[in-house]
């Protein structure tokens, strides 16, 4: 998740601070998650909505996303 979160955030041109404000947490929490820390399901849902992705896309354990699964 951490790599996907950071990549999507950067794709949108957002700073950690901007994403943190959108989902209602401190910037340090976003940094912690991007560094490999976990988060609550509630925060995961907020992050996915803010970033315009599904929970599957954000939390998938392998390189497969829902888009690649759907096209198979």
Which three-class secondary structure state does DSSP give residue 14?
coil
CB-CB contact of 18 with 36 (8 Å)? no
- Average pLDDT of the segment spanning 37-63: 88
Q: Which domains does the chain have, with CATH numbers?
A: 2-71 (1.10.260.40)
Can you give the pTM of this predicted structure? 0.80
What digits encode the pLDDT tens for the residues 17-43? Answer: 999 999 999 999 999 999 989 899 999
Contact 30, 61 (CB under 8 A): no
Residue 1, pLDDT > 80, answer no
User: For the residues 56-63, what does the mean pLDDT come to?
Assistant: 73
User: Got the DSSP string for 18-46?
Assistant: HHHHHHTS-HHHHHHHHTT----HHHHHH
Contact between 43 and 23 (Cβ < 8 Å): yes
């Amino acid at each position: 998740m951490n790599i996907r979160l950071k990549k999507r955030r950067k794709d949108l041109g957002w700073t950690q601070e901007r994403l943190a404000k959108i989902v209602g947490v401190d910037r340090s929490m976003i940094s912690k998650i991007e560094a490999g820390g976990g988060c609550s399901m509630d925060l995961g849902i907020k992050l996915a909505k803010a970033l315009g992705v599904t929970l599957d896309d954000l939390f998938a354990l392998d390189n497969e996303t829902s888009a690649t699964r759907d096209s198979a």
